[in-house]
Amino acid sequence: MLRTMLSIDQVAMNRGEGSARRGRVGRLRWMTMFLLAGIVLAGMPLPAAAEEERALSLTIYNRDLGLVRDMRSLEVVTGTGWVDFRDVPARIDPTSVHFKAIDGSPLVVLEQNYRYDLVSSEKILERYLDSDVKVILEEGRLYEGQLLSASGKHLVLGGVDPGEGVTILTREKVTDIQFPALPEGLITRPTLAWLLSAERGGARDVEVSYLTGGFDWHAEYVALVNEEDTGMHFSGWVSIDNHSGATYPNADLQLVAGDINRVAPVQRLAKGRGAALGEMMMAQAPGFEEEAFFEYHLYTLGRRTTLRDRETKQLALFDPATCDVEKRYESNPRRDGAKVRVVLETTNSRELGLGMPLPQGTVRVYKRDRREKLQFLGEDRIDHTPRDEKLRIFIGKAFDLVVERTELASRKVGPRDREIDVEIEVRNRKEDAAATVLIQEDLYGFWKVLNANMSYEQKSSSRIEFTVTVAAGETATVTYTVRFTR
C-alpha cells in the first residue's frame, strides 16, 4: 500500500490560512533544528582536549593562503592516547601541520587523522537508512518505521503498520524527524585527532602551526588632491577576506606583501568591497608596523583583532600622509590616438611625505570643487611599490588637450632603408592654463632620427620622448624624420 502526502507548496500558495500555516511550519522547523542540535550534542563524546587557554597568531598572504599558529593547553595521558584538536578551519591543509610541545617535556604525534565529515540533516538521514525513525507531519501525525530512502523530495518508510507495505511521505510536509542518537563518525566541526606519546600526562602547552586556504587581503588607498594639484592627502587601508571556515578570536595579525612561490596554483578568492570614502579618510591612528622580511615585506598590526568566518575586515594601514605630487600629461599617439593621459606622479620617500613600502592595491583619487564638494577623479591599480621608487597613478584622459599624429611622407632611399616624415600637433583648448605634454614615440627595429624641430630624449632602444609646452588656446607642432633599416 502506498501513501503519498501533498506537497506543502500546494497548500502554502493560498493566502490567509496559507500564510498562517507557513508561519506555523516555520516555527516547527526551527523546533526541529533545535531538537536535532540537542541530539547532536547528546551524542557527542566529551572532548579529550582542554582548550580553555588559547593564543592565536595569524599571518595572511596575498593569494588564498594563511598561516595559523595556535597555542593551547591540552590534557593528555601518560603513555599513548588520543586527543582531539578542534576549532581548525574547514580549508586547513592537514599535510602542513607542525606540532611542538613548548613545556620542555617530550610529546610526540604518532598518528594524525583529519576528521571533516560534518553533521547535517542529509548525512544523518543517510546514516539511518535501514534503521527505525519517527517522522512527524505538520498536522501532528506520527509515523514510525524503517527508513528505506531519503533521496529527492520524499521519504520512504517500511513497516509502518502491521499488514502495510511502504509509506511515501513528501519531505516538505515533514516538520520533525526523531533519531535515537547521533550516528557514529559525524562531527560538528573539523577536527584534528592525534595519537600522542607522552612521558608526562596532564595539562601540556603546545604550539600548532598549519597552512589554510580561504584567506586573501588587498590594499585600498585614497588620495585627496589639493586645489593646485601639487600635493595630496594619502591614506591606506587593508581589506581582509576570511572564507577559511573558522573564526580567529583575539589574534595577533600579520600581513605579507610579495610574490611567494606555491607548488600548485590556487584559485584566488573574490575581493571584498572597499570601505566607504568617509571611513578611509577618518583614519588617525597608525595601523601596521612594516619591516623587511626575507625578500618580502611584513606588516604587523599593533593590537589584537578578531577575524570572523565569512567576514571582510578593514584596518588602517598607516597614518594618513600629506605628500608632494606632480600632475603630468602624457601622450602616446600610436597607443592612445588623440587622447592625452593624466598621471599623478610622486616618489615614495620620507622626504616627500611617504616612505612606507606600499602593497599592491587600488588608489582612488578625489578633489574638492569650488563649492567644497568632494568629486571623484579616477582610480588606478598600483603594484608593490618599494621605498624611494616612483608612484604613478593614472587618473584618466584630459578633456581639453588633443594630440594628432600624421605621417606626412614615406620614401624608400635604398635597398634596405626607408625614411618617414612625422608631424605631431598638440592643441591646448584650455582657457587660462598652459599645459606641458610628454609625447612618446615608439620606433621599432633599426632606426635613426635624422632631424627634429625640437629636442628629444631617447628613453630606450624603441622609444623617444618630446616635451612640448603649449599656451592656453594655442597649438604646438613637433616634426621629425626617422630612417628605418631592415
Q: 242 near 214, Cβ under 8 Å?
A: yes
Residue 374, in any domain of the structure? yes
pLDDT, tens digit (0-9, with 9 covering 90-100), for 182-216: 666 666 678 898 999 998 999 999 999 999 999 99
Q: Which residue has the higher pLDDT, 246 or 289?
A: 246
Q: pLDDT grade, residue 28 (50/70/90)? A: very low
Q: 244 near 91, Cβ under 8 Å?
A: yes
Q: By mean pLDDT, which of 61-65, 93-97, 147-151 is the weakest?
A: 147-151
Residue 316, in any domain of the structure? yes
**pLDDT, position 264:** 56
Average pLDDT rounded to a whole number, residues 154-180: 76
Q: Are residues 234 and 358 in the same domain?
A: yes
Query: Is residue 11 predicted with pLDDT exceeding 50?
Result: no
Query: Is residue 485 predicted with pLDDT exceeding 50?
Result: yes
Q: 8 near 151, Cβ under 8 Å?
A: no
- Give the span between the Cα atoms of 264 and 426, in whole angstroms: 51
Q: Are residues 254 and 128 in the same domain?
A: no
Tell me which residue range forms the domain holding 445.
401-485
pLDDT, tens digit (0-9, with 9 covering 90-100), for 380-391: 999 989 999 999
Q: pLDDT grade, residue 18 (50/70/90)? A: very low
Residue 293, in any domain of the structure? yes
Look at the pTM and tell me if it is higher than 0.85: no
Residue 102, in any domain of the structure? yes
Q: By mean pLDDT, which of 44-53, 100-109, 134-143, 171-180 is the weakest?
A: 44-53
**pLDDT, position 209:** 95
Average pLDDT rounded to a whole number, residues 422-441: 96
pLDDT, the chain, mean: 81
**pLDDT, position 117:** 65
Q: Are residues 278 and 412 in the same domain?
A: no
Q: 88 near 210, Cβ under 8 Å?
A: yes
- Say which residues have a Cβ less than 8 Å from residue 315's Cβ, sequence separation at least 6: 237, 238, 240, 253, 287, 288, 301, 305
Residue 36, domain CATH = 2.30.30.100
Query: Is residue 144 predicted with pLDDT exceeding 70?
Result: yes
Q: Are residues 218 and 367 in the same domain?
A: yes
**pLDDT, position 86:** 87
Q: Are residues 208 and 218 in the same domain?
A: no
Q: Are residues 14 and 113 in the same domain?
A: no
Q: Which residue has the higher pLDDT, 447 or 3?
A: 447
Number of domains in the chain: 4
Q: What share of the chain is helix, strand, coil (3-state, %, to 5)?
A: 10, 50, 35
Q: Are residues 419 and 471 in the same domain?
A: yes
